[in-house]
């Protein structure tokens, strides 16, 4: 059966009104045009759908069956049109975002505020490490990704939207806690708990200390930030983490930021998607939201010295 949506649309109107004239008026077509669509539909089906008796129009048995299906299709198309119009107006839609684990605290804050503005949308959030983010970008699984420095060997569209300072943290009872202007070279004497090889924090840390001709004693690796912070709290060594992962620990006094010369290591947060990707309206709106307001939604935390960390422009 080779029928068109236009033929079904015209037939549904005629069958509903049982009138060629009223259907033509509703569809803004001429009556001959309506008659032609009905004839083409009957020819395609191979059965009569309508019959005239005097001035009245009746559905045949086949017409009654076809009306049932054509009416259901018309309702589905109306619903689809309504959904698409809602998407244009950001009243509905699904936003798929992946974020680095170190960005999860402020990313959830951003998404919460965004959802309050567009209450009809659905958000899918995945929090993972750098390897997971790169895999999802490679497979084009997410609309947008929030991460540290993006890789240079992938075709990506990237925009920096906020600073991401990496700081040295210690347990409150560590001998260096409370000291000021600790020489960077002094860190050679300390043991460090570090992230796994390949993580953005680990890579930035290694590049920074190599540039200062320093090698750190790192005897313990952790594949996620929460375990690293717990190890530092337990006195197993110092750690280097994004300051944006420390809001709770600093507020409760579980960790302190050491005042180390030439620190923090200044990185940036990026909003990333595949180059050439056609973002749905809800993802475009979230991208614009992050780029215009994201920086203000990331708190500036205070170190143990009482001085705000540098707040340079991205």
User: Token digits for 233?
Assistant: 């709290």
Exposed/middle/buried for 148, CB within 10 Å: 0-12, 13-18, 19+? Answer: buried
pLDDT tens column, 74-104? 888 888 876 776 676 677 788 999 999 889 8
CATH 3.40.190.290 placement within the chain: 95-297
Band the pLDDT of 302: cuts 50, 70, 90: very low
Rounded CA-CA distance 264/19 in Å is 78
pLDDT tens column, 110-146? 999 999 998 888 899 999 989 999 999 998 889 999 9
Rounded CA-CA distance 231/177 in Å is 16
Q: Return the CATH fold of 5-88.
A: Arc Repressor Mutant, subunit A (1.10.10)
Domain range 95-297, CATH architecture: 3-Layer(aba) Sandwich (3.40)
Band the pLDDT of 221: cuts 50, 70, 90: very high
Task: Report strand pairing: 191-195 vs 238-242.
Answer: parallel
For 142, phi and psi rounded to 5 degrees?
A: -120, 155
Band the pLDDT of 311: cuts 50, 70, 90: very low
For 152, phi and psi rounded to 5 degrees?
A: -90, -10
Exposed/middle/buried for 220, CB within 10 Å: 0-12, 13-18, 19+? Answer: middle
Rounded CA-CA distance 297/203 in Å is 26
pLDDT tens column, 242-278? 999 998 999 999 999 999 999 999 999 999 999 988 8
CATH 1.10.10.10 placement within the chain: 5-88
Band the pLDDT of 300: cuts 50, 70, 90: low
Task: Report strand pairing: 94-100 vs 156-170.
Answer: unpaired
**74-83, 186-195, 222-231 — which is least confidently predicted?**
74-83
């Amino acid at each position: 059966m080779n029928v068109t949506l236009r033929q079904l649309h015209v037939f549904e109107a005629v069958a509903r009104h049982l009138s060629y004239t009223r259907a033509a008026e509703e569809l803004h077509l001429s009556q001959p045009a309506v008659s032609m669509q009905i004839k083409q539909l009957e020819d395609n089906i191979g059965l009569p759908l309508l019959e005239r008796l005097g001035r009245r129009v009746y559905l045949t048995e086949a017409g009654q069956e076809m009306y049932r299906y054509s009416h259901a299709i018309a309702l589905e198309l109306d619903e689809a049109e309504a959904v698409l119009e809602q998407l244009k107006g950001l009243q509905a839609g699904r936003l798929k975002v992946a974020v680095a684990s170190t960005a999860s605290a402020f990313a959830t804050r951003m998404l919460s505020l965004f959802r309050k503005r567009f209450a009809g949308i659905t958000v899918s959030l995945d929090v993972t490490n750098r390897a997971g983010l790169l895999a999802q970008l490679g497979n084009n699984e997410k609309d947008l990704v929030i991460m540290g420095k993006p890789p240079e060997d992938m075709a990506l569209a990237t925009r920096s939207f906020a600073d991401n300072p990496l700081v040295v943290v210690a347990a409150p009872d560590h001998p260096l806690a409370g000291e000021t202007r600790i020489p960077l070279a002094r860190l050679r004497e300390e043991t460090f708990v570090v992230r796994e090889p390949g993580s953005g924090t680990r890579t930035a840390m290694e590049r920074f200390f190599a540039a200062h001709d320093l090698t750190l004693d790192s005897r313990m690796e952790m594949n996620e930030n929460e375990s690293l912070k717990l190890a530092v709290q337990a006195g197993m060594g110092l750690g280097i983490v994004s300051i944006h992962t420390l809001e709770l620990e600093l507020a409760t006094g579980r960790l302190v930021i050491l005042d180390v010369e030439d620190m923090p290591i200044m990185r940036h947060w990026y909003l990333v998607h595949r180059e050439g990707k056609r973002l749905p309206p809800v993802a475009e709106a979230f991208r614009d939201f992050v780029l215009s307001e994201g920086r203000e939604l990331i708190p500036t935390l205070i170190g143990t010295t009482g001085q705000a960390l540098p707040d340079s422009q991205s």
